Amino acid sequence: MSIAESISNYSLELGEVQLIAVSKTKPESVIMEAYHAGQRHFGENKVQELTAKYEALPKDIQWHMIGTIQTNKLKYIAPFVHLVHGVDRKKVLVELNKQANKCSRTIQCLLQVHIAREDTKFGLSELELRALVSELDQFPNVDVVGLMGMATNTKDSNVINDEFNYLKNLFDELGSARNWHTLSMGMSGDYKIAVENGSTHVRIGSAIFGARKE
C-alpha cells in the first residue's frame, strides 16, 4: 500500500481521533508523500531531526515532540513545536516554561505516565503525576492539555487494554476539572485498543512508513 493510501485509510478509520504520523528516521521526501495526501500532524523523537525537518518542510505542518526530553535542547523546538508529549518530570516544565516565555508563547504539552509493565518505558508514577498536577499553576507559559502513555510491548491484548484503561481513568479524574482534551495513546501495534479506551491522538509510524532500521 502506498503512503497516500495508508494515510487516507487511517483518516477514514479514525474519524475524530487525530492521527499523528510518526516520521522519525524517515526522509523529507517520504513526509511530503503523506503531506500531499492531506496529513498535517507529524511526530518526531529527536530535537535535531525535528528542527531540521521543521526548517525544510511546509510551515503548516504541526510538529509533535514524542520523544524523551533533554531539557538543554528544548530551546531549539520552543519557537514552533505544536505539542510536547513526553513531559515526565518537573524540570522539563520549568525549562519549557522558561523557553516558551522567551518566545512569547504558551506551549501545549502532555504529562507522560508510566503505564507499562516494563521498566524501560519512561513516565511518571501515579503519585508523581498527582503531585505534579497540583503544581501546574507555577508554569503560566505551559498549557498541560492531557496525558500520554505507552503500553507494554506484548501480544496479550488484555494487558494492553488494562494499561490504556488505567490511563483513561486518570485522564478523566484529573482532567475533567481542567478542560484536558488530549489523551495520546496507541501506536502501530495497539492503536485499536487505545481508541476503544478513549484515545484522542494515536502515534503511528511503521504501519504507515514501513519498518525503521534502528
Ligand X SMILES: *Cc1c(COP(=O)(O)O)cnc(C)c1O
Compute the least distance from the CB of residue 148 to ligand X, in Å: 8
Selected binder of ligand X within 122, 165, 188, 192 (CB under 6 A): 188
Burial class of residue 2, CB neighbours in 10 A (0-12, 13-18, 19+): exposed
Q: Which of residues 133-162 bind ligand X (CB under 6 A)?
A: 150
* Nearest residue to 86 (alpha-carbon basis) of 201, 197, 208: 201
CB of 134 to ligand X, least distance (A): 26
Would you count residue 187 as binding ligand X (CB under 6 A)?
Answer: yes
Which residues between 25 and 44 bind ligand X (CB under 6 A)? none
Among 125, 126, 206, 210, binds ligand X (CB under 6 A): 206
Contact with ligand X (CB under 6 A): which of 65, 77, 84, 204? Answer: 204
What phi, psi does 193 have (nearest 5°)? -65, -35
Site for ligand X in 78-117 (CB under 6 A): none
| Binds ligand X (CB under 6 A): choice among 66, 110, 144, 183 | 66
- Rule CB under 6 A: is residue 205 a binding residue for ligand X? yes
Maximum Cα–Cα distance across the chain? 48
* Cell, residue 146: 492531557
Q: Does 68 bind ligand X (CB under 6 A)?
A: no
CB 207 to ligand X: min, Å: 6
Distances (CA, A) of 55 to 50, 61, 73, 80: 9, 11, 16, 10
Element (H, E) at 182: strand 182-185
Taking the C-alpha atoms of residue 24 and residue 213, their distance in angstroms, rounded to an integer, is: 11
Q: How far is the CB of 153 from ligand X (least distance, A)?
A: 9
**Dihedral, 116, 119, 125, 129 alpha carbons, nearest 10:** -80
- Binding of residue 53 to ligand X (CB under 6 A): no
Could you list the residues that contact ligand X (CB under 6 A)? Answer: 22, 24, 45, 66-67, 150, 187-189, 203-207
